[in-house]
Amino acid sequence: MKALRFALPAGLILAAVLTFPPAASGRIDPRDERIARVVSDCDARADEFQRMFRRALDHSGYRGTMRQADLDRHADALSHAMRRVREAWNRERDPRRTRRYVEEAIDVSRDINRVMNNNRFYPELHHRWDALRHDLNRLAEEFELPRLRWD
């Protein structure tokens, strides 16, 4: 009976230890936190930019052209790529495994960047793109990838 009295609390403690393993060093890596913050911001900005960009293209010289369809696809691909970056980072917090998704997001952004640099859309869209491009470039730095150009 005494053994049973001690076995139950010991079993609960063991279960708690196995369920909640301590962090390797007891501290969160500041780089991981920085990346998580930028990934989250960039993902949200990509979705908002996608919606605004589509509206701007509908009211531009691109309206009804094949180029508009291409740019719409690029905006969709950017939003989708950033979602994959966020999911990969949140799942694994492994820069090596997440890097390919970041690279994909930056690659698909290059054409949008060219269009944004060479056209005059309404100022709020340019402001949103500048913020998104800044975050994409921060990700590029963290993952040692080429940055998007500002010109």
Phi, psi for 23 (deg, rounded to 5): -65, 155
Continuous segment of H or E residues that includes residue 12: helix 2-19
62: left (phi over 0), alpha (psi -120 to 50) or beta: alpha
**Tell me, what's the pLDDT at 147?**
93
- CB–CB of 114/62 below 8 Å? no
**Tell me, what's the pLDDT at 22?**
43
pLDDT at 130 over 60: yes
Please name the residues in contact with 66: beta carbons below 8 A apart, sequence gap of 6 or more. Answer: none
Q: Which amino acid is at 109?
A: S
Mean pLDDT of 141-147: 93
**Tell me, what's the pLDDT at 28?**
72
Q: Which amino acid is at 104?
A: E
**Tell me, what's the pLDDT at 16?**
46
**Helices 30-58, 95-118: inter-axial angle, 10-degree rounding:** 30
**Tell me, what's the pLDDT at 2?**
56
Please name the residues in contact with 67: beta carbons below 8 A apart, sequence gap of 6 or more. Answer: none
**Tell me, what's the pLDDT at 12?**
46
Mean pLDDT of 127-131: 95
**The two three-digit tokens of residue 15, written as one number:** 């279960």
Tens digit of each residue's pLDDT (9 = 90 or more) over 6-65: 554 555 444 444 444 444 455 678 888 889 999 999 999 999 999 999 999 999 989 999
Q: Please give the torsion angle defined by the CA atoms of residues 13, 16, 21 and 25, in that order, rounded to the nearest 10 degrees.
A: -60
CA–CA distance, 78 with 73 (Å, rounded to integer): 9
- CB–CB of 137/42 below 8 Å? no
